[in-house]
Structure 1
Amino acid sequence: MRKLTARIDKYDYKLDLENQELIVKVLNGREVKVKLIAPKERYIKYMNWDNYELIMKYDGSRFWICIEFRRKVEQYNARSVLAIDVNFDNVTILIKNSRRVIKAKKFSFPLRKALCHRIWIERIQKRYPKQWKYIKGIREAIRKHGRKIRNIVYGSCHKIAEEMTNTALKYRSLIVVENLKNLRVNGKRNTRFNKKLSLWAYRKLLFYIEYGCLEKGIPSLSKM
């Protein structure tokens, strides 16, 4: 069976999130029941949302399902500003209204762990300058460190963004971040700094924050 992707209208399937079941209508009035294996925390927050179009993909061995959810967002009246300062080791937030500072908090950003795995990759490539491209065991060792880097960066960005958006929703804050668009162009220095800069997932963090804002009905964040 070849790889394929299908879009299914909301009227052609039934979704039961409580029992993690998906029933899809196929030809001749038949129905196919699919068991969803996503973690409960991934879908429990969409229990009261309306489901729309569904995308089903077969990659040759497994089926992947993407469901579009929608809900009405209430008008958001901001009462304060949540400012974000992104650094290599930490992310600091400051919530302030017109009168005083309401809250300040610092989140640790474990990019030093990711940097260690990056250094290990470079050591392996330096030790086997030609062999690492062709020997399966060496390539797998490099991929292993690469996966750990990705998990550290993406996981920390997702966790920090989730806490930030929850805090902004609690204090009815408008999120403001510094504009670091040209940092990679203007910030090139020594080799060590450039290694840190390559792992600094500023754009990925912004993506998760914007995603959380859309999900919770917070107005789009602003850049200073």
Structure 2
Amino acid sequence: MFKMTNFSNEVETIERDLLSMGEEVLHQMEQMRDVFFIPNKDASVVIQQDATIDAFDRQIHTSILHLISLQQPLPEELRTLTTMMRMAREFERIGDQVVNVAELKKELDVDDLRPYVSTLFVDRYKEMIQVSTDMLTRTLEGMRARASQTDKSVEQMDEDVDALFFSMQQLIIRDMKETPEQIEKLAPLFLAIRYVERMADHVVNIQRRKY
């Protein structure tokens, strides 16, 4: 049973859920950093975390819809609620991309990809994950502080992620040329870095949708 109290209190509850969802997504991203490069790193754990993120998404959407149906919000309040709903969906999509990476690891059935790729690729992949998680960390800090201004540094960091993405594509191609017998193991990495690049894009979308 949805219990109606005060509109602003209900919004604050949804806001707390949204922050908790973001923190869960951040943890999920951090778990993914070494998923390709640590022997016996269980990708299933990362995949299972997505159920929590999906539950947050459902809860936030349900709470917002109940609130709108029980009390007609003012235009500004409606804008806040719809923005929160969209942010939750962006968080959920980041979680989906993390799952995509983890599932690639399971499909490859290789505990440690380091013997098949260059050291430079490993370093840049980890850097790409780190920059993406830093972007989300800054965005969550802004949400906690209720900062009204967009953090321009997040968009600059997204450009860094894009640059890493393009350079890593070239590294994969180079590794394929040097070890053509490993193409089957290297090809899925094109998808892995694309998924990470999309995560950063979703963080930028969240950053721009301040409420």
Return the structure number with greater strand share: 1
Return the structure number with greater helix share: 2
TM-score, with structure 2 as normaliser:
0.29
Higher relative contact order (CA 8 A, sep 6+): 2
Structure of greater Rg? 1
TM-score, with structure 1 as normaliser:
0.28
